[in-house]
């Protein structure tokens, strides 16, 4: 299946639908369908759009650990750091040291995400 806007090829309609559902949830702030979106995420994500949308959603919610987790996956799948730096969904993390490190190609230790552990 090929995405209409992105032109990206998805491994399944399921991945495509999950990416759209997650984006819808973030845009509308209607979290009632989030459980369905999470159930639709395939084990083998092949396109950066799905983890990017998840990173956006978790950033909007202020969940740094999940936002950075999905940011790392999206970057690994080919999403450009510029997409994160220009998206207002990430404004709360743009000055965060861990976010900046990931944008520069570094990794983040779990201890910096969870200082109480």
| Structural domain includes residue 7 | no
**Distance from C-alpha of 90 to C-alpha of 67, rounded to nearest angstrom:** 9
Structure tokens that stand for 111 in this block: 């201890």
Q: Is residue 88 part of a domain?
A: yes
Using one digit for the tens of pLDDT, what is the confidence trace for 46-69?
889 999 999 999 999 999 999 999
Residue carrying structure tokens 């450009």? 80
> Tens of pLDDT along 82-113?
999 999 999 999 999 999 999 998 776 544 55
Count of domains for the chain:
1
Residue whose C-alpha is closest to residue 49's, from 80, 25, 27 = 80
SS3 2: strand
Quick check: is 25 in a domain? yes
Residue 53 inside a domain? The answer is yes
Q: Which domain holds residue 70?
A: 13-113
Residue 50 burial (CB count, 10 A): 28
Length of the chain: 117
């Amino acid at each position: 299946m090929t995405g209409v806007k992105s032109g990206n090829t998805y491994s399944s309609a399921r991945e495509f639908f999950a990416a759209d559902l997650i984006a819808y949830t973030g845009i509308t702030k209607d979290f009632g369908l989030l459980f369905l979106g999470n159930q639709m995420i395939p084990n083998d994500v092949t396109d950066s759009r799905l983890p990017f949308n998840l990173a956006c959603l978790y950033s909007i919610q202020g969940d740094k650990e999940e936002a950075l987790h999905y940011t790392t996956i999206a970057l690994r799948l080919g999403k450009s750091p510029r997409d994160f730096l220009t998206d207002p969904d990430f404004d709360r993390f743009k000055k965060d040291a861990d976010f900046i490190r990931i944008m520069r190609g570094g990794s983040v230790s779990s201890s910096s995400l969870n200082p109480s552990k």
